[in-house]
């Protein structure tokens, strides 16, 4: 969940800043004296929407480190960190992805994975998680996060966010134009009411859109559970950690049933 909150928060901030920048500098010739060119606005919205989501994706690792205070570990810090790095390396090899950066941060039990590329990701765990769970349980959590990376969930989320952003930008400017003409009685071009309404609508619609993206992300959690079960060789550790509902547990059990006896033959589903 922390991974999603960080991404959505960054995306919303980038989207609002991009919108303000383009409005101030007049980028995007969708405003005409007689009204809005909806075709040009749709193109403008898609450019801003997808640019915002991909900028957020590229910023995800440094933003995650900065916002959580996570520090990278390499195993030299102590036996716990060495085990953590070795476990992530083992899971990454099974998932056939590059070795992610491993980080630890202070906080309540939690973990997340982020990054724009499968072979250049970040897996972070909190000190609370390391202190409150057994190694088997921590390994299950790490398997879940590595499965997110292997499944390309951050890129999938970015594409979904890009589509949602497009609608946010488009509708915000349509509403802004309506408010400016009807409430502020602007007859030619646009007045301050347009820009104020656009900024407010970008924020409000962005928050509402985040609910949609969070729902899609929830569905990806099921696949990450199943992927972790495959990487670990059994669905039991995942069930013990996440206490899954019936449908989530079914994904884990199905993955476990498909496992071969060799770890080298394990695949993320």
Q: What is the DSSP letter of 118?
A: T
State the Cα–Cα distance between residues 124 and 12, nearest whole angstrom.
23
Q: Which one, of 242, 67, 264, lies nearest residue 138 by Cα?
A: 242
User: Which distant-in-sequence residues (6+ apart) come within 8 Å of 21 by Cβ?
Assistant: 27
State the Cα–Cα distance between residues 201 and 192, nearest whole angstrom.
14
Residue 130: Cβ within 10 Å count: 18
- Catalytic residue check, 145: yes
Among 34, 77, 137, 145, which one carries the catalytic annotation? 145
State the Cα–Cα distance between residues 201 and 89, nearest whole angstrom.
44
State the Cα–Cα distance between residues 135 and 29, nearest whole angstrom.
57
Alpha helices (runs of H) in the chain, residue ranges in sequence order? 2-24, 38-68, 79-95, 127-132, 135-150, 153-182, 192-232, 236-242, 246-257
Q: N- to C-terminal Cα distance for the chain?
A: 21
DSSP lists the bridge partners of residue 123 as 102, 113
Residue 76: Cβ within 10 Å count: 8
Catalytic residue annotation: 145
């Amino acid at each position: 969940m922390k991974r999603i909150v960080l991404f959505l928060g960054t995306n919303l901030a980038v989207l609002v800043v991009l919108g303000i920048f383009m409005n101030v500098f007049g980028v995007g010739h969708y405003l005409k004296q007689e009204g809005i060119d909806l075709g040009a606005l749709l193109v403008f919205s898609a450019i801003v929407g997808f640019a915002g989501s991909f900028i957020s994706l590229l910023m995800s690792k440094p933003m995650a480190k900065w916002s959580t205070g996570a520090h990278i570990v390499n195993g030299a810090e102590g036996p716990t960190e060495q085990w953590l790095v070795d476990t992530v390396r083992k899971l990454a090899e099974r998932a056939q992805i590059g070795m992610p950066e491993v980080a630890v941060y202070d906080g309540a039990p939690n973990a997340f994975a982020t990054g724009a590329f499968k072979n250049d990701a970040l897996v972070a765990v909190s000190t609370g998680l390391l202190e409150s769970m057994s190694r088997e349980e921590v390994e299950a959590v790490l398997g879940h996060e590595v499965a997110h990376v292997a499944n390309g969930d951050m890129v999938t989320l970015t594409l979904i966010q890009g589509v949602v952003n497009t609608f946010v930008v488009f509708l915000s400017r349509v509403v802004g134009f309506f408010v400016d003409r009807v409430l502020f009685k602007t007859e030619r071009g646009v007045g301050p009411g347009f820009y104020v309404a656009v900024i407010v609508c970008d924020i409000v619609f962005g928050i509402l859109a985040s609910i949609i993206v969070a729902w899609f992300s929830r569905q990806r959690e099921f696949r990450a559970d199943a992927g972790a079960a495959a990487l670990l060789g059994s669905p039991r550790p995942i069930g013990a950690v996440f206490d899954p509902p019936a449908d989530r547990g079914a994904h884990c059990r199905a993955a476990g049933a498909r496992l071969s006896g060799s770890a080298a033959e394990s695949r993320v589903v």
